[in-house]
């Protein structure tokens, strides 16, 4: 009896504890989570959203600009924008090889220009730091030019300094034809036409000889010899070297001399015969030429340039054969005044025929034609 009571009491206690645990579990299920937990969850979600946006900005395709189309009920208009990019560098001309005697000053910039398609003429920079003018030898000279878009061009020429004593001794032993043949063989190729030979000779004399204000005198053959060896001189040197090379090309020439006047310099150039006609040939550098070569030029072309450049080609038309093409009257009248009347504005044909009707003052009874005015009073001289 006592045993049964004890077991019943123990069972009751166990059942009470189980009932308490069940009640505690149900309270836990129905209990709301604390606020702090909710805030943490919201923060995590926001961070995840921001990170997702950043990743999307990096990974998404970049927009491509396309022509904008504005459409209305009436018409469609397309607006397009074209951007031009300058990628063409300037062009340097005149940077040729030079030759001088040891100790001489060389004008490296002389005749060297640079032109750009956008900027026009641009400055040319020269680097002659590698040159030693006190020692015989060949040295490089760098030329470069840059336009406003940053496009750059660079070319390299050579300057050769030779010992004066050796040059003079060599020149005594050989004549102008020896030097002319060396140059001729280097610039004239087999199969060249006569016109190509003439232009090749002009190009060599123009760019291989440097202009020097020191006047050359004496026989043209000796001057040509000096020009081929020293590679410098005035217009007479260009004239002489050109003549020597044209002689080897079997091109007939005639010497042309500017009309001598007090207070102005002399000038010499050539007439060359090509395809049965005469043309002017001048390889001497000329200020203001602006691309003109003066190779196979006509009288009209030479006189037009001379008129605006201090009469640099002022030659007597009567002394030389004519070139093809017409010559303007304003140039002819200087040498052929007999071809032009003193008053060219007054017609010369009006006095050759009498009037066909009588003047208003003529009496009606007269039927004869009035006597014309005497010729000596109305005919231009």
Same domain, 339 and 203: yes
156 contact partners, CB below 8 Å, separation of at least 6? 140, 141, 142, 143
In a domain, 358, yes or no: no
Query: Do 172 and 315 belong together in one domain?
Result: yes
Same-domain pairing of 170 and 277: yes
CA distance 239 to 216: 11
* Closest of 253, 277, 149 to residue 202, by C-alpha: 253
Q: What is the CA radius of gyration of the chain?
A: 49
Give tens-digit pLDDT for 148-182: 888 999 999 999 988 865 555 555 446 889 999 99
What is the mean pLDDT of the segment spanning 181-209? Answer: 95
pLDDT at residue 20 in the model: 72
169: domain CATH number is 3.10.620
Helix (H) or strand (E) holding 220: helix 220-230
Q: Would you give the distance in Å from CA 154 to the centre of its chain?
A: 14
Separation between Cα atoms, residue 219 and residue 222, nearest integer Å? 6
d(CA 223, CA 237): 6
pLDDT at 363: 39
What digits encode the pLDDT tens for the residues 7-50? 556 666 766 777 776 666 665 555 555 677 778 888 878 888 88
Which residues form the domain of 129?
79-162
Q: Is the dihedral of CA 350, 352, 356, 362 positive or negative?
A: positive
181 and 277 share a domain?
yes
Cross-strand bridge partners of residue 256: 269
Torsion of CA 224, 229, 234, 238, to 10 degrees: 50
Structural domain contains residue 181: yes
Residue 158: beta bridge partners?
Answer: 140
Please report whether residue 365 resides in a domain.
no
Residue 300 and residue 337 share a domain: yes
Give the number of domains in the chain. Answer: 2
Residue 140 has pLDDT above 80, yes or no: yes
Q: What is the pLDDT of residue 336?
A: 84
Rounded to whole angstroms, the Cα distance separating 196 from 194 reads 5
Same domain, 120 and 184: no
Cα distance between residue 366 and residue 139, in whole Å: 98
Do residues 139 and 182 share a domain? Answer: no
> Is residue 110 in a domain?
yes
pLDDT at 334: 85
Q: Where are any strands of DSSP class E within 132-238? A: 137-146, 152-162, 210-211, 232-233
* 238 occurs within a structural domain: yes
Give the tens place of pLDDT for each residue, 53-80. Answer: 777 776 665 555 555 555 555 566 666 7
| Residue 104 maps to a domain | yes
Q: Considering the domain boundaries, does residue 106 fall inside one?
A: yes
Asked if 129 and 179 sit in the same domain, the reply is no
Strand order in the sheet with 91-93: 91-93, 113-116, 120-122
More confident residue, 101 or 353: 101
């Amino acid at each position: 009896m006592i045993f049964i009571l004890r077991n019943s009491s123990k069972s009751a206690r166990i059942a009470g504890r189980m009932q308490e645990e069940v009640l505690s579990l149900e309270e836990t299920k129905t209990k709301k989570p604390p606020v702090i937990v909710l805030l943490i969850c919201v923060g995590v979600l926001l961070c995840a959203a921001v990170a997702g946006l950043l990743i999307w900005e990096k990974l998404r395709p970049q927009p491509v600009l396309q022509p904008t189309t504005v459409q209305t009920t009436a018409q469609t208009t397309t607006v397009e924008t074209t951007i031009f990019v300058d990628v063409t560098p300037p062009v340097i001309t005149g940077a040729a090889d030079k030759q001088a005697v040891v100790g001489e000053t060389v004008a490296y910039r002389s005749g060297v220009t640079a032109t750009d398609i956008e900027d026009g003429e641009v400055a040319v920079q020269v680097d002659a730091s590698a040159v030693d003018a006190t020692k015989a030898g060949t040295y490089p000279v760098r030329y470069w030019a840059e336009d406003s878009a940053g496009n750059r061009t660079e070319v390299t020429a050579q300057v050769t300094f030779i010992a004066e004593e050796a040059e003079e001794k060599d020149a005594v032993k050989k004549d102008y034809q020896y030097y002319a043949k060396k140059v001729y063989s280097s610039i004239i190729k087999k199969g060249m036409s006569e016109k190509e030979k003439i232009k090749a000779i002009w190009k060599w004399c123009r760019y291989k000889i440097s202009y020097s204000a020191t006047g050359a005198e004496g026989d043209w053959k000796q001057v040509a010899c000096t020009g081929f060896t020293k590679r410098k001189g005035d217009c007479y040197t260009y004239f002489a070297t050109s003549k020597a090379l044209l002689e080897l090309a079997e091109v007939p020439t005639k010497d042309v001399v500017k009309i001598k006047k007090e207070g102005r310099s002399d000038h010499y150039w050539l007439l060359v015969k090509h395809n049965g006609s005469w043309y002017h040939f001048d390889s001497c550098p000329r200020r203001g030429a602006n691309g003109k070569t003066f190779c196979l030029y006509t009288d009209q072309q030479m006189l037009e340039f001379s008129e605006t450049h201090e009469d640099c080609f002022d030659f007597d038309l009567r002394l030389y054969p004519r070139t093809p093409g017409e010559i303007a009257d304003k140039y002819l009248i200087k040498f052929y005044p007999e071809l032009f009347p003193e008053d060219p504005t007054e017609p010369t044909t009006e006095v050759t025929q009498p009037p066909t009707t009588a003047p208003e003052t003529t009496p009606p009874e007269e039927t004869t034609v009035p006597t014309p005015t005497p010729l000596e009073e109305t005919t231009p001289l």
